[in-house]
Each structure stands twice: as structure tokens, then as C-alpha cells.
Structure 1
Amino acid sequence: MRTTSGSTTRQRRKRWLKKAEGTWGVNHSSYRNAKQTVIKASQYAYRDRKNKKRDFRKLWINRINVSVRALGYTYSSFMAQLKSKKIEINRKMLSELAIHHPEEFKKLVHSVMLNK
């Protein structure tokens, strides 16, 4: 005789429902909806892990641009001068420097830009 709702099936379904905890409406209690919700959430999570890198790079560039423009230069010319002088400092560190240590950033910018 065939077993329809064995413990294995119940365990599998409980696993999906456990992953869907905290979702809104029927999506955390109905097995079918919970499974679809978890799958879709996983797709969003995968996509957004990639997008996060893109978003942070945009943020760093924006911060550097604002700080450099306040000193009378442009972002593109500043980065070009950094490259030509073979100064290897990444955008994240430049951004942090611009926010937390503006005087040091100002010295860096002037030293790079004045000696063209």
C-alpha cells in the first residue's frame, strides 16, 4: 500500500515553511506559496549581491567627486593624475579619506594636481 503523507514529505514541507518565516500574508503558511516566495527571494538575493558592489562603487565615486570639486578639480582629472603618478589607492579608501580626514585628503589632492 502506498503512503501519501509520510514523515519525509512533512519534513521537506516544514523546511520550506521555515525558510519562508517572516513573509507577509499566506506566503508563510501555505506550502505552495511559501516555496515560490523562498525561490523568488533567493533570486533577488543573488541579483542584489551583484548590484551591491555596483551601488557602493557609485557611492564612492560620488563622494570623491564632491570632495574634489570642492577643491576646484574634477573627478576624472584627479583619477587620471593618480594613475599617471602610479599612486594605487582604491576608491573606497579615497572616499573614506574624503569623509573622515578631509585635511589629509586635501593635501593628497593638491600634491597630485599641482605637480602635473
Structure 2
Amino acid sequence: MIRVKRGYTAQRHRTKIRSFESNFRGARSRPMRTLTQHKIKASVSAHRDRDRQKRDFRRLWISRINAAIRGSSIYCSYSFFLKNLYKNQLLLNRKILAQIAILNRECLYTIFNEIIKSKKKEERNGWISSFFFHFFSRKIKISGVPNSGIPIPPGSWY
């Protein structure tokens, strides 16, 4: 049989695949079959590891924030810090918080102290409002007045 050299399209295809050749060592870079197999495997690994990298960085940021918070004079957990951060609508993502924890720890302590102040204020306001709610929502029985079992609104003169 006559041997036919492949055309321009096949040569272009091989040249495109061989652009990955510089990253492979040994026989992986020369034969076309092994070169294509290892190119596919490399692209699968790259796709998988991009997702894994996101996970790993998130874990790193969380551990840095947690270490910085627990190292402060006021002991607190990471979950408590983030819950109150979002409750006070201080929307900072974990990456930025981790950078603040490493580069400027005093700034992180300032954020933390603001959260503590607002939490104490909220507890104090909650206690006062619950006290007055129970005080003014009592049912007052007045002798001689019809329908005396109804709650009397605050500010009335009965």
C-alpha cells in the first residue's frame, strides 16, 4: 500500500497538542498518543484542583480569623464573631478579615469591640423593653367597672 502523509489539518492538530509538551518530561512529551492522554489528565486535574484551592483558602482564612480572635484579651469564638458581624451588617468577607487579622490586628480588635458594645446595648434595651412590656400588659381588675378583665393601655387614668 501507498503511504499517505496526512494533510494540513492533522499537522495543525498535532502542533496544538504539542504546545503542552514543554510541561511534560520523558516519553510523555514525544508520542502523540501518550501526549494526548496526559493532556486530558492534566486538564481534569486542573479543573478539580481549582475547586479544591477555593476550599483550602477558605479554610485558611477561617483559621486565621479564629486564631486572631481567640488570641485577644476577650475570649470569643469564630462563629460568635461572624454571627454578630452579619447581625450588625458589617459585611466583610473572610479574605479581607484574614488580611486584617494578619496585617492590622488592632483594627480587628476595634471591629470586635464595636460588636461587643452593640451586643451589650441590645441586651440592655431588650431587658428594659421586656420589663415595660410585661408591666404595661398586665390585666388590671377594677371593682365596679364592667369588662374589667381587659388589658388597660399605658397612660390611661383608671
User: TM (normalized to structure 1)?
Assistant: 0.88
Unmatched segments (≥5 aa) in structure 2: 120-158
Aligned pairs (5 A) from 1:1-116: 3-71=4-72, 72-116=75-119
The residue aligned with 2:140 is none
Select the structure with the greater relative contact order (CA < 8 A; seq sep ≥ 6). Answer: 1
Measured in 2, the distance between the counterparts of 1:20 and 1:35 equals 10
Which structure carries more helix by proportion?
A: 1
Unmatched segments (≥5 aa) in structure 1: none
Bigger drift between 60-69 and 49-58 goes to 49-58
User: TM (normalized to structure 2)?
Assistant: 0.67
**Post-superposition CA distance 1:39-69 (Å, at most 9, x none):** 1111111112222221111111111000011
Quick check: which has more Rg, 1 or 2? 2
What amino acid does structure 2 have at the position aligned with 1:69? Answer: R
Bigger drift between 7-16 and 50-59 goes to 7-16
After the TM superposition, which parts of structure 1 deviate over 4 Å for at least 4 consecutive aligned residues? none
Question: Are the counterparts in 2 of residues 64 and 95 from structure 1 also a CA contact under 8 Å?
Answer: yes
